[in-house]
Structure 1
Amino acid sequence: MEGMYSPTRDPKIPAEGKSAAFAHWVSGYYAHSPSLLSSFPSVTLDELRKGIAEAPIRDPPPNRVPSVVNMSAEELAEITDPAVITRSHPLYYNVDPALCKENLDAALLDASTCPRLRVSLVWCDMSPPETVMSTWYLARQIQDLWPSNARKIDVVRFEGANHFPHWDEPDRTMNLLAKLI
């Protein structure tokens, strides 16, 4: 997202350090403004930008350390590919937004394909800023601009969860997902 920090775009981080920086950044816990979270997605873009925490919680309590801190080297190696950060992730920033919109529209606006498909947008309210902002954009569209014949989407806030709730709180995550089925 333009104007938002990501270690993958930080020229001060050498290529060999981007993977570790990204892992801590993406799995950290962010203390976004409570008023932003309680009014989500009705806040304006300016209010959103002012209320988003730009960095993970400093000196977090044990239950809010970045998820990767609680992973052994073996576990981290099993679930990640550090080369992606330098090989593939930069391409993500060059994808034409029109292509993303076209795919999103095809999947969500045309309810004639798989008409009984239920969709839930689960957003974790302590996730990195880019994730919260992306969720806001879609939730805002659903709230204000969603065509009546489009697929129904339930927007579900997962309170106190970061980008890796399945790792940090598997039981709570499974309970939430089970309620959505």
Structure 2
Amino acid sequence: MPTAPVDDTGTVLFFEDTGAPPGSSTYLTVIILHGSYFHGLTFQNLVPYAASSNLRIVRVNLRDYPGSTKFSEEEMDAIKSGDPEIQAGAMKAQGQQVAAFLRHFATTYGIPPTTQADGKLVGGMTLVTWSMSTNLSMSLLAHAGSLPAETREVLGDYLRTIILHDPVSGQTCGAASLQGSYSPLRDASLSLDERINLARLRLSYYFSTVDDFKSITAEELNARVPMHESPLEDPSKTPTLLRMSKEERDAIGDRDAFVRSTLHIIRIAPDVFRENFERALFRLDGILPKIRIVCAWGDETMSDCVFATKIIWDRLEAARAEKTRFRDIEFYKLEGCNHMSHWDHPEKVIHLLTTRA
């Protein structure tokens, strides 16, 4: 079972690797982090496309998820402390563990560094953080200045892009929930099991298509409806989880990890996530300046992801108006995609990786 050490106390992260495309010395290494509940196996439909697309796809399981080190009691105490300063330290540590994974993989597996060929970037790595794991890419960049010099050097040579794949407003941007929105996890009328089951299912809904995230209002976001509940129901818009077998649903998720740690990370003080977001994308310190950001959003995903994308756009527009520094940020629409585009439309995610990463 392949694992990578990510600190000096024995902590490891489990990963699955497609390996280098045969005969290629210019392939792109794609490191993918999962979000809440669903772990790295949820990206399995991307694997068959890897070699033919000149990609090496590495699916990583986060702490507490299968094969990776569980959070210690001390770490969980920090996450649950309610003290923003202590929680900030906990999130900084998690971001630095991701950086350590990237360094380990680049230096251990001999992947090609980022170079230019015919005016285009080849080789190197892209880090894809999906859903809630976008908080880890924000933490990594926010605290890049305190990484070991060797790690910064490796990331500078290899990490060319970070993709925020369907970011979420709270853990990516530190924003308050969309006013008037519904979340099963906040529904006090449901038991914990009911909240988890409904939240998991809603992640895989297809919602009314959003044409332009930049101008959409809270009222319009809240008015979106699940497509499978429409009188004009399209079978292709049936929630992803309802088209899976029970065996598939069970295989790609980990309820115990979600309850033990992920729920508590979701509840970390918003200011912690907001500070990391600002430092990562807008209050730049000159560390790792070449890393580009691609914010990829599905136009039929849940409204919170569209809301998060709009928050990032609005903040970028404010930085432009104020003539302050910001990272190179591009927005990319995954057309006809819900929050689980990697399962339902892997070819569209592969196109994103081969054209934008």
TM-score by length of 1: 0.83
Which structure has greater strand proportion? Answer: 2
> Which amino acid in structure 2 is aligned with residue 61 of structure 1?
D
Gaps of 5+ in 1: none
The answer to whether residue 333 in structure 2 is matched with residue 157 in structure 1 is: yes
Deviations 1:95-147 (A, max 9, x none): 22221111112222226221211110111111111111111111111123345
Deviation (angstroms), 1:90: 4.3
> Which amino acid in structure 2 is aligned with residue 151 of structure 1?
R
One of 272, 279, 287 as aligned partner of 1:113: 287
Gaps of 5+ in 2: 1-176
Contact 2:319 2:326 in 1 (8 A): no
Looking at structure 2, the residues matched to 12 and 86 of structure 1 have their Cα atoms a distance apart, in angstroms, of 18
Which structure has greater helix proportion? Answer: 1
Percent of residue pairs identical = 25
Looking at structure 2, the residues matched to 137 and 61 of structure 1 have their Cα atoms a distance apart, in angstroms, of 31
Looking at structure 2, the residues matched to 144 and 106 of structure 1 have their Cα atoms a distance apart, in angstroms, of 15
Give the corresponding residue for 2:196: 19
Looking at structure 1, the residues matched to 189 and 314 of structure 2 have their Cα atoms a distance apart, in angstroms, of 34
2:181 is paired with a residue whose SS is: coil
The answer to whether residue 238 in structure 2 is matched with residue 62 in structure 1 is: no
Contact 1:166 1:173 in 2 (8 A): yes
In structure 2, relative to structure 1, the CA distance for the partners of 1:117 and 1:93 (3 Å cut) is closer
Map residues 15-164 of structure 1 onto 2, 5 A cutoff. Answer: 15-32=192-209, 34=210, 37-38=211-212, 40-41=213-214, 43=215, 48-52=217-221, 53-57=223-227, 58-59=229-230, 60-84=233-257, 86-92=259-265, 94-109=267-282, 110=284, 112-146=286-320, 147-164=323-340
Aligned residue-pair number: 173
Looking at structure 1, the residues matched to 189 and 342 of structure 2 have their Cα atoms a distance apart, in angstroms, of 31
> Which amino acid in structure 2 is aligned with residue 119 of structure 1?
I
Using CA pairs under 8 Å that are at least 6 residues apart, name the structure with larger relative contact order, 1 or 2: 1
> Which amino acid in structure 1 is aligned with residue 306 of structure 2?
V
In structure 2, relative to structure 1, the CA distance for the partners of 1:129 and 1:4 (3 Å cut) is same
> Which amino acid in structure 2 is aligned with residue 48 of structure 1?
T
Deviates more, 1:103-112 or 1:132-141: 103-112
Give the corresponding residue for 2:111: none
Give the corresponding residue for 2:19: none
